[in-house]
Amino acid sequence: MDTFREEIFRSGKVRDAAHGCLVIAEVAQAHDGSLGMAHAFIDAIADSGADAVKFQTHIASAESTPSEPWRVKFSPQDSRRYDYWKRMEFTEDQWRGLKRHADERGLLFLSSPFSLQAVELLERVGVSAWKIASGEVTNVPMFNRMSESGLPFIVSTGMSGWNEVDAVIECLKKYRSPFALLQCTSAYPCPAEKVGLNVLGEFRSRYHCPVGLSDHSASIFPGLAAASLGAEVVEVHATLSREMFGPDVVASLTTQELKGLVDGVRFIDRMLKNPVDKDEVEETLNSMRGLFTKSIVAEIDLKAGTVLKPEHLACKKPGTGLPPERLDQIIGKKLVRGLRKDEFVQEGDWA
């Protein structure tokens, strides 16, 4: 798992959390084909503190046919889904500009390819890892081509059962490249009942690899829960505003919510890396114990020779005298000296 982290960060600016949970913010098609909007996303995601920005690289003629159906018909300006993919394309120089911008802002640059041509383009542009979308898990020719780069793989499994996941793991192990496997549910948005946090543990025990969550719930809670379970990767969709156009907005975090997720993940990272030894806590906080604990004191003025009864004594702060657990040992004893109200009972005050 350490190898995966080292590999994923080797070409990007390493943040303080480089050895904790990797937080990926996915832009996908939220830029709606606007290069300026894509650059605006990079700045907003960098400001959130996330580790990586992720796009999707679509080359319509290489990945789709004109007859490809819509998953959801959302675009009034694109008569076909093919036309939509065409509108989402950037030139290689534009991709290089996005990569350069991400580098300048200290973000790892990722983009999911959806064709061999996209793989080759991204290899020339430079990505920190190959992010495999759920629909590409069975695309063995693309996996084979990617493996030639030696880059790490991050694989989403939203459309795969165990047989397909087993097959992709065998494929990845053959390449000997570091990889992480992400639980993903391809529902937009994904309800809590379908997130599948249990799968993280199943992945880890079954494949002995870094695991993570690719989340579409539009909530920070699944990502925080995954981080608390030791996930190495958390990926979420990002949007600048809930009022933006596009199919992924309903399943995205705003960049302000993204910042909350990142802050929470960093906090969880620190908690997980710093287990508490209760014996050490007792020693460290011993000086404070007197301020918060209590001691046995006289509830009223008491004369020497008084046989102590429960109503004669009380437990009050500070805790610098006899502790309350000694109270039963004192009841029924005879005072050998007088005590004033609120005076501490001390060893030797009774016979």
Do residue 42 and residue 103 come from a single domain?
yes
Do residue 152 and residue 285 come from a single domain?
no
Q: Which of 273, 304, 323 is the last residue of a domain?
A: 273
Phi, psi of 245, rounded to the nearest 5 degrees: -90, 145
Do residue 244 and residue 284 come from a single domain?
no
Q: Per-residue pLDDT for 1 more than 50? A: no
Q: How many CB atoms lie within 10 A of CB 70?
A: 12
> For residue 224, what are its two tokens?
């925080």
Q: Per-residue pLDDT for 11 more than 60? A: no
| For residues 84-109, average pLDDT | 95
Please state whether beta strands 233-239 and 108-113 pair in parallel, antiparallel, or not at all (unpaired).
Answer: unpaired
Do residue 308 and residue 204 come from a single domain?
no
Task: pLDDT band for 120, please (50, 70, 90 cuts).
Answer: very high
What pLDDT is recorded for position 285?
72
pLDDT, one tens digit per residue, over 323-334 is: 999 999 999 999
Q: Specify the pTM.
A: 0.85
Calculate the alpha carbon distances from 100 to 25, 227, 232, 278, 284 in Å: 17, 29, 26, 48, 48
Do residue 12 and residue 116 come from a single domain?
yes
Domain containing 314 — which CATH number?
3.90.1210.10
How many angstroms separate the CA atoms of 323 and 311, rounded?
Answer: 17
Do residue 81 and residue 173 come from a single domain?
yes
Q: Which residues pair with 156 in a beta bridge?
A: 182
Q: Per-residue pLDDT for 18 more than 60? A: no
**Quick one: how far is CA 111 from the chain centroid?**
20
Q: Which residues pair with 213 in a beta bridge?
A: 183, 234
Dihedral, 165, 169, 175, 176 alpha carbons, nearest 10: 150
| 3-state SS class at 154 | strand
DSSP 250: G
What pLDDT is recorded for position 30?
92
| 3-state SS class at 183 | strand
Residue 82, H or E segment: helix 81-87
Comparing CA positions, the residue from 120, 126, 179, 185 lying closest to residue 155 is 179
Please state whether beta strands 233-239 and 253-254 pair in parallel, antiparallel, or not at all (unpaired).
Answer: parallel
Task: pLDDT band for 10, please (50, 70, 90 cuts).
Answer: low
Do residue 163 and residue 305 come from a single domain?
no
Q: Do the Cβ atoms of 313 and 296 come closer than 8 Å?
A: yes
How many angstroms separate the CA atoms of 115 and 136, rounded?
Answer: 9
> For residue 332, what are its two tokens?
């029924």
Do residue 248 and residue 283 come from a single domain?
no
Do residue 168 and residue 23 come from a single domain?
yes
Do residue 37 and residue 124 come from a single domain?
yes
pLDDT, one tens digit per residue, over 269-292 is: 999 999 988 887 777 777 787 788
Q: Which of 216, 251, 273 is the last residue of a domain?
A: 273
DSSP 191: P
Task: pLDDT band for 258, please (50, 70, 90 cuts).
Answer: very high
Number of domains composing the chain: 2
Domain that holds residue 213: 2-273
Calculate the alpha carbon distances from 259 to 227, 254, 287 in Å: 15, 9, 38
pLDDT, one tens digit per residue, over 301-316 is: 999 999 999 999 999 9
Q: What percent of the chain has pLDDT over 70?
A: 95
What pLDDT is recorded for position 116?
96
DSSP 326: G
Q: Per-residue pLDDT for 17 more than 50? A: no
> For residue 234, what are its two tokens?
């958390």
Q: Which of 209, 243, 273 is the last residue of a domain?
A: 273
Do residue 238 and residue 217 come from a single domain?
yes
pLDDT, one tens digit per residue, over 183-242 is: 999 999 999 999 999 999 999 999 999 999 999 999 999 999 999 999 999 999 999 999
Comparing CA positions, the residue from 117, 170, 112, 120 lying closest to residue 136 is 112
| 3-state SS class at 38 | helix
Q: Which residues contact 276 (CB under 8 A, 6 or more apart)?
A: none
Domain containing 61 — which CATH number?
3.20.20.70
pLDDT, one tens digit per residue, over 122-141 is: 999 999 999 999 999 999 99
Do residue 154 and residue 284 come from a single domain?
no
What pLDDT is recorded for position 16?
42
pLDDT, one tens digit per residue, over 29-88 is: 899 999 999 999 999 999 999 999 999 999 999 999 988 888 777 778 888 889 888 988
What pLDDT is recorded for position 280?
79
